[in-house]
Structure 1
Amino acid sequence: MALDAGAIVGTWVWEIPSDRFTADERFAEAFGLDPDSCRNGIELAEVTKVIHPDDIALVNDAIAEALAHGGAYRCQYRVAHGAGFRCLEASGKVELAADGSPVRFPGVLIDIDERRAVEAERDRALVLLEGFTAAVPGVVYAKDRDGRMLVANRGTTELIGKVLFWQSIQSPLPTPNGPARCPLTAHPPNVRNRASG
């Protein structure tokens, strides 16, 4: 069912001792490989040769780490696709023999092109919002429904008397009588009223 949903675009199994990598037709299509060869089994080197040159070291390091310790593997990279590259995420698990040696590595391939595009658009919107907020004179800020500061300009910083760092905004501090609150929202009510008025 998940394969038909479009998020997962293929599955694979790598038999490590024999270096036999088998994959389904959708995986073969995503990597531009021959489906029959993938179904019958190829060497891992055949699969990795279509990975973007800037990403291959990252992929090799992630594979080596998973092989050394077993367990979960997750890596994002680009593969040649048409005239450009396609962003994929591989997620799998290295299975170990009783002696601790890696023997089998099954996994799934996930298309993350759309997610990357959405994240890029979100990042562009945040940069625009931060630029707009910084350019507006006076006191400008926005909070979420829980009272956590999301964005604020220099006027807000000067009024509250605290330097704004995204790290402190995104890491709320606990309060003794209620939910976690951002350090910037722990000011007295009269300061809040002046800031919003």
Structure 2
Amino acid sequence: MFVNAIDGAREPLDQLKAALDASGVVGTWTWSGSQDRCILDAGAACILAGDPGLAGTPIRLERAKACVHPDDRAALFHQFRALGRTGGLFVAEYRTLSPEGQVRTILDRGRIFRASDGAVTHGHGIILDVTEKACQDPVPAELQQPLELAASHAIACRGAIDRLDIAELRLIVDMLLLRLGQELCRSSTMGAGGLH
């Protein structure tokens, strides 16, 4: 399927939905900085809040993240609150614990936006279920390709920097991650016959 970010989907939306489902996307969220309220869609409300009936209802962050695993809650809330003051890219991997006791691994990615006066206004993001990835045996460092190993360490570094809440360091690591991603993409296209 071909999607143009400006013109929209050029093929039926059911193909876009199938692609999102295959990639693990299970929901979306929005956050209002002025009201400090989250709005989850049905998928996010089910996974994060444990109640799909909360979809579309403005709720406090604590309620919106009620199913975050107790061992991951403090770090996740600290990271989100820090970005709630500064704005910027939000990327977090954490576990959820359903009311039935099922543990899932979630990748949460979004952005917190600022107005021209610097005030944080709102945020949008998606959540992906990456439980399958988390369950796979990790590849030993000595068997990883150098770019993949560097990217893995940079991602871990980004997680630690988020806990420091230093915007300049976060920007430097984000630039490194972007550059590593470009090199990984270039090397994968070269490995596929050099097609660009």
User: Counterpart of 1:182?
Assistant: none
Q: Where is the helix percentage greater, Structure 1 or Structure 2?
A: 2
Deviation, 1:34, is 2.7
- Structure 1 or 2, whichever has the larger Rg, is 1
Q: Confirm whether residue 43 of structure 1 aligns to residue 60 of structure 2.
A: yes
Runs of 4+ with deviation above 3 angstroms: none
Q: Which amino acid aligns with 2:43?
A: R
**Runs of 5+ unmatched residues, structure 2:** 1-15, 146-196
User: Counterpart of 1:65?
Assistant: 82
| Residue of structure 1 aligned with 2:138, choices 104, 122, 141 | 122
How far apart, in 2, do the equivalents of 1:60 and 1:42 lie?
A: 15
Q: TM-score, normalized by length of structure 1?
A: 0.57
Partners of 1:89 and 1:111 within 8 A in 2:
yes
Deviation by residue 1:99-141 (Cα, 9 ceiling, x = unmatched): 21211011000111111112xx134xx49xx8xxxxxxxxxxx
User: Counterpart of 1:83?
Assistant: 101
User: Counterpart of 1:166?
Assistant: none
Partners of 1:62 and 1:74 within 8 A in 2:
no
How far apart, in 2, do the equivalents of 1:29 and 1:87 lie?
A: 14
Partners of 2:42 and 2:54 within 8 A in 1:
no
How far apart, in 1, do the equivalents of 2:101 and 2:52 lie?
A: 20
Partners of 1:3 and 1:10 within 8 A in 2:
no
Q: Which amino acid aligns with 2:138?
A: R
Deviation, 1:19, is 2.2
How far apart, in 1, do the equivalents of 2:35 and 2:64 lie?
A: 15
How far apart, in 2, do the equivalents of 1:33 and 1:83 lie?
A: 11
How far apart, in 2, do the equivalents of 1:55 and 1:49 lie?
A: 11
User: Counterpart of 1:14?
Assistant: 31
Deviation, 1:51, is 1.2
Quick one: percent identity of the two aligned structures? 28
How far apart, in 2, do the equivalents of 1:29 and 1:42 lie?
A: 14
Q: Which amino acid aligns with 1:111?
A: D
How far apart, in 2, do the equivalents of 1:34 and 1:117 lie?
A: 25
Q: Where is the strand percentage greater, Structure 1 or Structure 2?
A: 1
Deviation, 1:88, is 0.4
| Residue of structure 1 aligned with 2:129, choices 111, 115, 125 | 111
User: Counterpart of 1:161?
Assistant: none
Deviation, 1:32, is 4.7
How far apart, in 2, do the equivalents of 1:56 and 1:73 lie?
A: 15
How far apart, in 2, do the equivalents of 1:106 and 1:33 lie?
A: 20
What is the aligned length?
126
Q: TM-score, normalized by length of structure 2?
A: 0.57
Please state whether the residue corresponding to 2:71 is helix, strand or coil: coil
**Runs of 5+ unmatched residues, structure 1:** 131-141, 145-197
